[in-house]
Structure 1
Amino acid sequence: MTLATAASGGRVSVPKRSIRTPYPTWFFLPAAVIYAVLFLFPTLASLFFSMTRWTLFNWTFIGFDNFVQFFKEPFLVQGLVNTLIYAAVTSGLKVVLGLLFGMLLTSEIWARDYLRSVVFFPVLVSTVGVGITFTVLMHPTQGLINESLALIGLPGPGWLTNPRLALLSVALVDVWKGVGLATVIYIAGIVSIPRDYYEAARIDGADAVQRFWNITLPLARPATVTVVLLSLIGGLRSFDLIWSMTRGGPGFTSDVIASVIYKQYQAGFYGLSTAGNVVLFVMVALIIVPLSIALNRREVAR
């Protein structure tokens, strides 16, 4: 033991090794340029123009007046609440249904590959096309859904005209369209679990429910984290489906922050709508970044 080691209480300090890469540093330059052009520059430009009153030809710096006015919008609070409700409903259902479909489509069932393609197909369809199609299907008097309910004696509600149902109706359509991606992620997570665990559990007498709670659910946690984060990001930023189906109506009952921003842009308040985009960006970051850190930290701890 050296004198320096003895002086430090017998602890031997191990020098930290720097991470080495087999590629020269300049190899990363093209990716850095693309990142700066497509992300950093637009982000900084948005931050600047959110503090201006601008048109296509000139601008005037006004500080934080746009943000103050944005938070004074009468329907902003309702749009914020609707955004959180929409994100919670869509992400929750995608996690639950994606897990169930993932378990079903990794089991030994007939036409499994065909069913996988059927579940994933809505993901490939245009969001606006889906919105227009379901707007017709959910028509209160002539829609196929209510006409089918009438055949069995059930009164069909106003899916998109009832203020209490409009937002949830759009959320259900969003789930129908996006659950295929969640299912694919869960399928990848479930098939990566070694089969030996299930065989050992069967030998120990574990039934299907016990195998699910003790093997599938814990070991599919990375897939769950991915689905939760992607679904929340999509739900918080959702606009196109809501706009194509309800345009924030009836009234303002299905407005989300993105549709409020778009209405301000339509009215010609470009600086105000840019400030709204910055608010939306910050809100998504404040929700997603801490949640991602917490979920990944728990995953590492396990």
Structure 2
Amino acid sequence: MNESTNTSAVKRPRRRPVSAYPSWFYLPAAIVFGVLFLFPTFASLFFSLTRWTLFDAEFIGLANFAQFFKEPFLIKGLINTLVYAVVTSGLKVVLGFLLGVLLTSQIIARTYLRSVLFFPVLVSTVGVGITFTVMMHPTTGVINETLALFGIRGPGWLTDPSLALISVALVDVWKGVGLATVIYIAGIVSIPQEYYEASRIDGAGAWDNFWNITLPLAKPATVTVIILSLIGGLRSFDLIWAMTRGGPGFTSDVVASVIYKQYQAGFYGLSTAGNVVLFILVAIIIIPLSGFLNRQGGEQ
């Protein structure tokens, strides 16, 4: 009796769920993933260990990485990259959330305002950079000319070393906050209305609803915006290059622009090593942060 009881108490191993599709259905996606991601990634790792041209490659080990970290403006570029990523992602989270709350409320022309806010996301980044370069000109730009009407002398937005990086970051926020807002709108409208109805019955006000319902239940959208904005900020290049080319001097250089300058100079192996460094930088920041934020979100 005891043996039968013990035998029945033993848990049978769970069978893996049977997929409705044969395994070879995944083959096309695997081929695309391998060709467009795995092969270029491993090729970059190999060429980062070589001194290469279009016609030959000489294996030199870690010499490219050692040389890359000896570049005098690399540390400045790393600091600028982190500052740029934190500023742009932070502002996109705050402004995106506030605009998401506003554009899910009962305001006039709500649909039109959503379209207007999202429009900059669709515009070419280089086009935005060129436009704002003209608008931020220290003497003839429309921004400083407008400030002059009120007796304010506008600064050199892109020529002042202390303002150039922040000025580009603000343009980045203007262009990208629409996407963050759309993500927040989707997160906010997915919150069940029963929570708000129960809150009204309990006599809670608008601020209580915002603080106790909207803010915590929009956390998945916040995690998404933080991760996407940080990845974009750490990989930023096109807008910075279009507006300042890393200048004045090297004060607005980021890691990607340092890499591009090495490529322009013909140091292909060195620039490839820089790409590997940037890849590792993004990975060591985003992967742990994503895991932490998702755990925090799951505890709510």
- Please report the TM-score for the alignment, with normalisation by the length of structure 1: 0.97
Cα distance in structure 2, aligned partners of 1:4 and 1:268: 76
Cα distance in structure 1, aligned partners of 2:289 and 2:219: 14
Partner of 2:221: 223
Partner of 1:84: 82
Change (3 A) 1:111 1:60: same
Query: What one-letter code is carried by the residue in structure 1 that aligns with 2:235?
Result: R
User: For residues 180-202 of structure 1, what are the alpha-carbon distances to aligned partners after superposition, in whole Å with 9 as ceiling and x for unaligned?
Assistant: 00000000000001111111111
Which secondary structure does the structure 1 equivalent of 2:282 belong to? helix
Which secondary structure does the structure 1 equivalent of 2:21 belong to? coil
Partner of 1:292: 290
Cα distance in structure 1, aligned partners of 2:21 and 2:215: 39
Partner of 1:134: 132
Change (3 A) 1:62 1:188: same
1:183 to 169, 181, 184: 181
Query: What one-letter code is carried by the residue in structure 2 that aligns with 1:20?
Result: V
Which secondary structure does the structure 2 equivalent of 1:212 belong to? helix
Cα distance in structure 1, aligned partners of 2:2 and 2:112: 69
Which secondary structure does the structure 1 equivalent of 2:58 belong to? strand
Cα distance in structure 2, aligned partners of 1:66 and 1:150: 50
- Corresponding residue pairs, total: 300
Query: What one-letter code is carried by the residue in structure 1 that aligns with 2:134?
Result: V
Partner of 2:102: 104
Query: What one-letter code is carried by the residue in structure 2 that aligns with 1:44?
Result: F
Partner of 1:145: 143
User: For residues 96-147 of structure 1, what are the alpha-carbon distances to aligned partners after superposition, in whole Å with 9 as ceiling and x for unaligned?
Assistant: 0000110111111111110000000000000000000000000000000000
Cα distance in structure 2, aligned partners of 1:200 and 1:218: 16
Partner of 2:197: 199
The CA deviation at 1:3 is: 3.0
Which secondary structure does the structure 2 equivalent of 1:20 belong to? coil
Change (3 A) 1:61 1:117: same
Deviates more, 1:234-243 or 1:190-199: 190-199
Query: What one-letter code is carried by the residue in structure 2 that aligns with 1:173?
Result: V
Partner of 1:3: 3
Structure 1 unpaired stretches of 5+: none
The CA deviation at 1:299 is: 1.9
1:173 to 171, 174, 188: 171
Which secondary structure does the structure 1 equivalent of 2:186 belong to? helix
1:247 to 245, 256, 262: 245
Partner of 1:237: 235
Cα distance in structure 1, aligned partners of 2:31 and 2:297: 33
Partner of 2:59: 61
Cα distance in structure 1, aligned partners of 2:248 and 2:255: 16
Cα distance in structure 1, aligned partners of 2:220 and 2:18: 27
Which secondary structure does the structure 1 equivalent of 2:258 belong to? helix
Moved over 4 A (4+): 4-7
User: For residues 151-171 of structure 1, what are the alpha-carbon distances to aligned partners after superposition, in whole Å with 9 as ceiling and x for unaligned?
Assistant: 001110110001110000000
The CA deviation at 1:264 is: 0.2
Partner of 1:117: 115
Change (3 A) 1:67 1:207: same
- Please report the TM-score for the alignment, with normalisation by the length of structure 2: 0.97
2:158 to 157, 160, 169: 160
1:30 to 28, 32, 35: 28
Cα distance in structure 2, aligned partners of 1:102 and 1:231: 16
The CA deviation at 1:210 is: 1.2
Cα distance in structure 2, aligned partners of 1:272 and 1:14: 56
Cα distance in structure 1, aligned partners of 2:188 and 2:38: 37
Change (3 A) 1:299 1:5: farther
